[in-house]
Amino acid sequence: MDKPKSHIKKACNLCFSLKKRCVVVLSHQSCERCASLHKKCDFTRIDRKRGPKPKSAITPQIPVEPKIISITPQLPDEVLNSEQKLSGKCTNCRKQKKK
């Protein structure tokens, strides 16, 4: 008669590294492959987590508003008002390009 065999869900370290099926004989403490190769049969491998990392771990959420507010008092008035001047120039440029 055949020996009773057990198929376990996780392969031992050696079978996993060889990408082979791990077959454990119930009467032995090691799988068939480790027993035939006279290797120690360990099941100490820890599975890695699968899937994408959570977004919070990838990019931390930093509030932008306080940074902008802290920078703007340091800028001179010319720089703060330059947006209005630039927007006027841009509309003039657009009119000239259309002609």
Q: What is the pLDDT of residues 30-69, one digit of tens each?
A: 899 999 999 999 988 887 788 888 776 555 555 656 656 5
> Which pTM does this prediction carry?
0.43
DSSP state of 68: H
Distance CA 63, CA 40 (A): 54
Q: Are 8 and 28 in contact (CB under 8 A)?
A: no
* pLDDT at 95 (0 to 100): 66
